[in-house]
Amino acid sequence: MLRTVKKLLHDKRGMSGLIVFAILLPFLGAFVIAVAQTTIISVGQSVVNNAAFEGARIGALKNSTTEAKNAANNLGRNVLGNWDSRATVKATKSNNIITVTVEYKVPIYSYFNSLNMNIPKKVQSSSSQRVESSP
């Protein structure tokens, strides 16, 4: 057993591949983190868009800004676990138009904060629906 270990330690075949891998590993790690961060931002934006639309739709249907906020918050909570601590939902009504604005603070990996990169720290969406009376 000891002889096999010594033999493996002195064998230089395949070392160039290991060296290339060791050099490329930090770049590969940074790429994986960048893809994950992009995915987090994209999912956040998609949820915010859907929450704003759903809130405005329910608000117009029930003619209530409170119901609009509740609908937007419920959709966000069902998809993103940290919705309550990171999201802000506003609903307004003007001239029979309910507008819901949703803002979500996206979690950012500390790797990107240390590089001072211009990464969006929040995503925002707004949606409006007209309140129509039933016949």
pLDDT tens by residue, 44-82: 999 999 999 999 999 999 999 999 999 999 999 999 989
SS3 131: coil
**Cα 94 → chain centroid:** 31
Residues in the chain: 135
pLDDT tens by residue, 26-44: 999 989 988 988 899 999 9
For the chain, what are the domain ranges?
A: 19-130
Q: Is the pTM of this model over 0.85?
A: no
Distance (Å, rounded) from C-alpha 62 to C-alpha 80? 25
Q: In the predicted model, is pLDDT for residue 134 greater than 70?
A: no
